[in-house]
Structure formats: structure tokens, C-alpha cells
Amino acid sequence: MPSSPREAAASGERRAHGDLAGARVGVWGLGREGRAVTRTAVAAGAAQVVVVDAATADPGEDFGPKVTLLCGDAHLTRFAECDVVFLSPGVPWFHPQLVALREAGVPLSSATDLFLTSAADRTIGVTGTKGKSTTASFLAHTLQRLGENALVAGNIGLPLLEVPDDPGQTVIAEMSSQQCAAIGASPRIAVVTNLGEDHLDWHGGVDGYVRAKAQIFAGGTQVLICQSRALAQLRGVTQPTVPFPETVITQEAIVDRWPSVDRMNPLSPMIYPHNQENGQLAVLAIEALLQRTLDTAEIIDAIDTFSALPHRLEPVGRTGQTLWIDDSLATTAESVVVALSAMPADRSVAVIVGGLDRGISYAELDEFLLSGQRDVQLIQIPSNGTKIGEAFAAAAPDRVHRAGDLIEAVRLAAGLQVGAVLLSPGAPSYDFYANFEEKSAQFRRAVLQL
């Protein structure tokens, strides 16, 4: 019986990925991927598609008579009758019903798995705790500047199952740990940006999280491009059970020929140290794909023409001398440290933290705050804000403020004498918001109303 996502995805118990004709298909979750899988199953001639979502049975579209839409966990038992069940990324691997399906031998798959079965050879997969969206987007942008046919999809952009069937197009697939976990085929080239603590409730701990990330290359990747620290973590947790590609390249291979900051457009988001590392990994992946070295002019052109992604150190307004910045995608201690490190060292900054409590450690952030590398005012909001910067609060209580919600936090920050106010929550937004976009939108409205 498969005991891990990898074993389940590669299991011979499952019907062939593309062989959904006449199958009874289960779809767990009605998000973007769930909808895409449902459409694909119907188009492939599935005999029946059972879709179960915890929150809604309204898809907002008509899938046709072969699709049964059900709302609530009570209906998850219907999956036991299916020939294959496709899991949405948010379904925890240790959910009791999922454990029961594995024990019953019900074949499991995912939208990412289904796509890679037929398109792995034209795919560059990008994963990591942080930086994967910027890396994937910069990778596609650079390829396009070079005249190549490239598209970003997956965790950002199009759902993978909606990518056009174009053999001449390179697909840059951003993949979360959940998406990596349940794949049997791996992309031709895999990029791992970095590894911190994230989604530990889903994976059952740090080692489970790292093992899930390793699945991006464990199913036949030819070239692995990896941050050196992440490579050490991957090897420490997964060897000798997970096969590594013959070709493994770290960012040290390009550092000596990476252009200096004074040669870059000062408005480019790639001038930040963490984004330079992301860019280096992206260029190494392009060189592996094209089998040639990019020259300095090509790299600088890509850097100078690349725009910041939404919700990643994105300026949203200015009041007086204070710049307001949306970094709402920062959901770990490491990502908050990266955001604060990107702020000018000679200017004070207020950072708003807090969100859904996942039980991760914030020791790295405390260490940074206590080091005095930046002059920081910390504003804590629910649900877990008081757990973020605990040691800093004990050492410098006059620089720590509590607010009842995000709107109050913005008003509080407006009264501080700081050069920038940063929304960098260090936690997901699902405690009070549907998603991070909703939290970001409230932040922007509150700033505009000052």
C-alpha cells in the first residue's frame, strides 16, 4: 500500500493517466485545479465524475450531465467507488478520508500529475518555499525576450490542464509542495529555490515537506537547478531513497558572471539580493534548456524589462514621507526577513505581521529583529501576531504594537515616524480572509483612506 504521495502517484494500481474514457472519476476540491480536472475528465469521456467540495457545490459553470456536484465532507465516502481520485492541492495528505482511500487501494492522482504525464519533456518545473513565483515569471520573461515560445502556468498563470497542446512551447510550471507531492512524472528541468518551513500541517513535519519538494525531480528530471543550501537539505532528508539527476547545478555556477547592481535598472525588482538569487537560478535553467551560455547583455536586458509581481514587495501608495508596501504573499519567518532586508538600511520600517497559525517557528525572524540590522517597529495582528517576534517584544516592548485587525494596524502605522510600512504577514490569510488577495485589497483600501 502506498505510504507516501510519491508512491501513490507512481503506483501501478492506477489506470493510465490519459485513460479516463469510461472511468468513474473523483475530484476532491472545486478550486481552479478541480474545475480543470473536471473539464478534462468530461472531455476524455469519463463515465461519471463525482466532485466533492467542503464549501460549495456551485461551480459557476455547467459541466454536463455526467458530473455530480456534492458539498460537505460527508460525501467523501463516494470516492471509494471511483477508479481514480484527483486531489486538489489543499487536501492534507493525512486527512482521515484520504488515509482510508489509500488503505482501500483507490488510485490517486492530481492535475499536475496528469499534465506531466504527457508534457514533462517541454516543462521546466519551479518549486521552493519562497521565490518560486518570481523565479518562474523571470524565467518565462527571459525566454520570451530571447525570442522563445514560453508560458507560465500551474500555481500561477493558467491551470496546467488548460495549457495549449503546443510541442514547440516551453511551459514554466510553478509547483507548490502539495502539487509536487502527488506526481509520478517529473519535468525535464527542475528548479528548487529554497527550503524553509511551510505547510507542515499538510506534510506532517519538516522532513515530510522536504520529501514532497524532492518529488519535483524524483520521477525522471534530467537537470536539477538548486540553491546550494536547499540542495544540502534535500540530500540530507531524501538520500539514498530518492534518485537525484545526473546533472545538478547550484547558483555558484553563475555568481562570478552575474552583472553588478550598478549595471541594472534601479527600478527593477531584480536588484534585491533575494531576487538576484532567483534570477541566477532562472538563467541557469534557461542555459540548460538552450544548451548555451547567456551573455551579460541578454541577462541585463531581461532584468531591466522585468516588472514586479503583485503582492511581492509591491508599492501601493505614499503618505508624506512614508511608502506603503504590499508583501502579503510573505507567509513564513524567512520571507519576512527577506522583505525587511530589502528595505534601505538607513530608514526605519514598520512591519505588520499575523495570520493563520500553522505552528511554524519564528526564531529566524526574532534573531533578525534582535540583530538591529534594520530599525523596525513591529505591529502584531490576529490570529497569531503575538507569536511572531515574541523574543523581540520581550527585549524591546516599546517597539512592538498590537492591533485588533488590519485596518487598525494601518491607522496605528500611520502614526509612526517611519520611512516605510510593510504588510508582510509571516502567515497565510485564511483565518479571516478567503485568500491573500482579499487581505491585500483591504490593506490597500485602508491606506487610500488615510
431-443 confidence digits (pLDDT tens): 999 889 999 999 9
Give burial (CB, 10 Å; 0-12/13-18/19+) of 148.
middle
Looking at residue 203, its pLDDT comes to 62
Top-confidence residue, 181 or 192? 192
Q: How far apart are CA 119 and CA 187, in angstroms?
A: 8
pLDDT, tens digit (0-9, with 9 covering 90-100), for 38-96? 999 999 999 999 999 988 767 778 999 999 999 999 999 999 999 999 998 878 888 99
pLDDT, tens digit (0-9, with 9 covering 90-100), for 388-414? 999 999 999 999 999 999 999 999 999
When mean pLDDT is compared across 52-61, 221-230, 314-323, the lowest value belongs to 52-61
132 is in an annotated binding site: yes
130 is in an annotated binding site: yes
Per-residue confidence at 17, pLDDT binned at 50, 70, 90?
Answer: very low
Looking at residue 118, its pLDDT comes to 92
Q: How far apart are CA 197 and CA 210, in angstroms?
A: 9
Looking at residue 157, its pLDDT comes to 84
What would the mean pLDDT of 166-175 be, rounded to a whole number?
Answer: 97
Q: How far apart are CA 440 and CA 419, in angstroms?
A: 20
What would the mean pLDDT of 297-306 be, rounded to a whole number?
Answer: 97
Map residue 300 onto helix, strand or coil: helix
The DSSP bridge partners found for residue 52 are: 28, 70
When mean pLDDT is compared across 6-15, 215-224, 380-389, the lowest value belongs to 6-15
Looking at residue 205, its pLDDT comes to 77
128 is in an annotated binding site: yes
Q: Are strands 322-326 and 314-319 parallel, antiparallel or unpaired?
A: antiparallel
- Domains of the chain, each with CATH number or no CATH: 5-109 (3.40.50.720), 113-304 (3.40.1190.10), 314-448 (3.90.190.20)
Q: Percentage of the chain with pLDDT > 90? A: 76
Top-confidence residue, 242 or 199? 242
The yes-or-no verdict on residue 144 having pLDDT over 90 is yes
When mean pLDDT is compared across 204-208, 285-289, 310-314, 412-416, the lowest value belongs to 204-208
Looking at residue 202, its pLDDT comes to 62
Looking at residue 200, its pLDDT comes to 58
Q: Percentage of the chain with pLDDT > 70? A: 94
Contact at 8 Å (CB) between 126 and 289? no
Closest CA to 281 of 155, 149, 192, 169: 192
Per-residue confidence at 187, pLDDT binned at 50, 70, 90?
Answer: very high
Dihedral (Cα; 85, 88, 93, 99), 10-degree rounding: -30
Residue owning grid cell 490576529: 382
110 is in an annotated binding site: no
Q: How far apart are CA 181 and CA 197, in angstroms?
A: 16
The yes-or-no verdict on residue 354 having pLDDT over 50 is yes
Contact at 8 Å (CB) between 380 and 402? yes
* Whether pTM exceeds 0.85: no
Contact at 8 Å (CB) between 210 and 199? no
Q: How far apart are CA 119 and CA 113, in angstroms?
A: 10
The yes-or-no verdict on residue 197 having pLDDT over 80 is no
Set of cell numbers at residue 307: 516588472
Per-residue confidence at 309, pLDDT binned at 50, 70, 90?
Answer: confident
Instruction: Please report, as a single letter, which amino acid is at residue 164.
Output: P
Contacts with 199 (C-beta within 8 Å, 6 or more apart), sequence order = 176, 177, 178, 209, 358
131 is in an annotated binding site: yes
129 is in an annotated binding site: yes
Contacts with 266 (C-beta within 8 Å, 6 or more apart), sequence order = none
H/E stretch holding 379 reads strand 376-380
Looking at residue 92, its pLDDT comes to 82
Q: How many CB atoms lie within 10 A of CB 64?
A: 11
- Mean pLDDT score across all residues of the chain: 91
